[in-house]
């Protein structure tokens, strides 16, 4: 996170990206790391979701990452950028985290419907 913050503070428009469900999951549950980064840096958070079909799903990975096959139908969805206020309380941060999680999961369902990708069930 420190490297991303340093990168965002460099001169000129800078961007960073990562998944919001963190490096260990559980999948589809947003963590607050990127929200904190947005709050500290003052850079808005842009929710983005990708889906593709056909795709290979890595079922043994914790998040069941998928890789689009050549000539797949790919769709990219994004929502309006969110500003995370620097004065946000812990309770406010949890509300914002749940909001971002809801936005991303809604976009995921819409994107998957559009491409026809079916994510493996958990468990």
User: Does 10 score more than 80 pLDDT?
Assistant: no
Contact 54, 72 (CB under 8 A): yes
d(CA 63, CA 58): 8
pLDDT at 113: 96
pLDDT(18) > 60: yes
pTM of the model: 0.85
- Structure-token pair, residue 94: 């949890």
Q: What is the pLDDT of residue 67?
A: 94
């Amino acid at each position: 996170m420190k490297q991303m913050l340093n990168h965002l503070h460099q001169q000129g428009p800078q961007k960073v990206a990562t998944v919001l469900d963190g490096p260990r999951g559980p999948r589809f549950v947003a963590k607050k790391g990127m929200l904190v980064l947005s709050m500290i840096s003052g850079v808005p958070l842009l929710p983005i979701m990708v889906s593709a079909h056909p795709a290979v799903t890595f079922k043994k990975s914790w998040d069941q990452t998928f890789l689009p096959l050549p000539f797949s139908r790919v769709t990219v969805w994004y929502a309006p950028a969110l500003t995370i206020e620097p004065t946000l309380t812990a309770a406010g941060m949890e509300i914002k985290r749940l909001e971002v999680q809801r936005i991303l999961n809604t976009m995921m369902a819409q994107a998957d419907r559009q491409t026809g990708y079916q994510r493996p069930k958990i468990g």
